[in-house]
Amino acid sequence: MSRRLALDALLAFVLSRALFFGLVIVGSQIEFMGKTYSNSVWETRIIFRMGRVRPEIERMTMVGDAWLFRGIAVEGYDRSSRDAFFPLFPMLARLLGSDFPANGLIISNVAFAIALLLLGAVATRSGISADDASRAMFYLAFFPTSYFLSLPLSEALFLALALAATLFALQGRWLGAGVVGGLATATRLVGILLIPMLLIIFLQRSDRPRARMFWLALALVPCGLLAFMVHLYRVTGDPIAFVHAEAAWGRTFSLPAIAAQLHIFSEPWNFVALNAAAALLLAGAGLHQLLRREWAFGVYTLGSVLLPLSSGSFQSMARYAAVAFPLFFWLAARGRRPAWDRIILAVSIILFGWLTALLTLRVDFALA
In the DSSP assignment, the letter for residue 85 is: S
Q: Per-residue pLDDT for the chain (368 aa), expressed as one digit of tens each?
A: 789 999 999 999 999 999 999 999 998 888 777 778 777 787 888 787 888 888 889 988 998 899 999 999 999 998 888 999 999 999 999 999 999 999 999 999 999 999 999 999 999 999 999 999 999 999 999 999 999 999 999 999 999 999 999 999 999 999 999 999 999 999 999 999 999 999 999 998 876 656 778 999 999 999 999 999 999 999 999 999 998 887 666 665 555 556 556 667 777 778 888 999 999 999 999 999 999 999 999 999 999 999 998 877 788 899 999 999 999 999 999 999 999 999 999 999 999 999 999 999 888 888 88
Paired with 41 in beta bridges are 36
Claim: this prediction has a pTM higher than 0.85: yes
pLDDT digits (tens, 9 = 90+) for 231-269: 999 999 999 999 888 766 666 555 555 655 666 777 777
- Rounded distance between C-alpha atoms, residue 196 and residue 194, angstroms: 6
Dihedral sign for Cα atoms in the order 143, 145, 150, 156: negative
Q: Other CB atoms closer than 10 Å to residue 50's CB: what's the count?
A: 6
Contacts of 256 (CB under 8 A, 6+ apart): none
**What CA–CA distance (Å, rounded) separates 308 from 130?**
32
Kindly report, residue by residue over 88-103, the tens digit of the pLDDT. Answer: 999 999 999 999 999 9
Question: How far, in Å, CA of 128 to CA of 124, rounded?
Answer: 5
pLDDT of residue 266: 76
**Domain tally, the chain:** 1
User: Which domain does 7 fall in, by range?
Assistant: 3-366
pLDDT of residue 150: 97
DSSP category for residue 365 = G
Helix, strand or coil, per DSSP, at residue 144: coil
Contact by Cβ (8 Å): 198, 181: yes
3-state class (DSSP) for residue 30: strand
